Amino acid sequence: MVGDSPDSLVRSSDPLHPANLIPELCRSFYHLGWVTGTGGGICIREGDKVFIAPSGVQKERIEPGHIFVLPYPQPTPSPHTDRLFLRRPQLNLKESACTPLFWNSFELRDAGSCIHTHSQHAVMATLLWKGPAFTISHQEMIKGVRVGGTGAALSYLDTLIVPIIENTPFEEDLRDSMAEAMVKYPDAPGVLVRRHGVYVWGKDWEKAKTQTECLDYLFEIGVKMQLAGLPTVLNPIENTNE
């Protein structure tokens, strides 16, 4: 039955349990500068449950007992249903504002995990690329990215395209524009939000993490190339002397 559930949902000795992984990953992301000031987040979907870091919490101090657990798919709302398996009213915690955006990755890409960062590299990329997408090619790290985020790996020769959507005052209001970008760019592994950050997804948390790391590297090198006046996308004819 959906509603308040025992702590067994988030208490486990298994280090790979989502409730243990999420705090560990958030600490790592904090030290990378991706989730400072309580911003950013991560979710992991396993079977009929989605584990999500709470909103407004210092990400490097999250504990397993802070994790929200939601059913997947979501039940049809009614006076007799609750959309949470586990909630924490006594801790005064709120479900992540990223939740509607995470759901896009589940419903449109069948993702198993989605990561949201406020990386400065991602933000700078949205400022230097004025158009609807970030583009880069002929970089080794592109090989760590998958088509659509969950498909086959890209190659060194592929041009990576990551759509950019405009920010909104409230994060949940990004859901529709993010979904539209995902439909328009089906091969994209993530969506950039101008002056905000990026959402990246994968088949599982390992692939989502790997792709987020690769994309962050590519955003950084792309920004540096732009500032140095170097093209980030090469025409094949320019590649003959490599």
pTM above 0.85, yes or no: yes
The number of helices, as runs of H, and strands, as runs of E, in the chain is 5, 8
Domain contains 241: no
| Pair of tokens at residue 50 | 């989605």
Q: Are residues 145 and 211 in the same domain?
A: yes
From 32, 65, 96, the end of a domain falls on 96
Q: Are residues 222 and 148 in the same domain?
A: yes
Domain contains 239: no
Domain contains 82: yes
pLDDT tens string 115-169: 999 999 999 999 999 999 999 999 999 999 999 999 999 999 999 999 999 999 9
Domain contains 43: yes
Q: Is 116 assigned to a binding site?
A: yes
pLDDT tens string 71-116: 998 865 544 445 555 555 556 788 888 999 999 999 999 999 999 9
Domain contains 105: no
Q: Are residues 73 and 146 in the same domain?
A: no
Domain contains 199: yes
Report the alpha-carbon angle 109-110-113, nearest 5.
Answer: 95
213 is catalytic: no
From 61, 96, 131, the end of a domain falls on 96
Domain extent at residue 160: 110-234
Q: Are residues 88 and 193 in the same domain?
A: no
Domain contains 104: no
Q: Which residues contact 78 (CB under 8 A, 6 or more apart)?
A: none
What are phi and psi for residue 187, nearest 5 degrees?
A: -90, -5
Q: Which of these is catalytic: 63, 95, 107, 140? A: 140
pLDDT of amino acid 16: 93
Question: Looking at the 3D structure of the chain, how many domains does it have?
Answer: 2
Q: Is 121 assigned to a binding site?
A: no
| Pair of tokens at residue 153 | 């790996």
Whichever domain contains 44, its CATH number is 3.40.225.10
Q: Is 98 assigned to a binding site?
A: yes
Q: Are residues 117 and 224 in the same domain?
A: yes
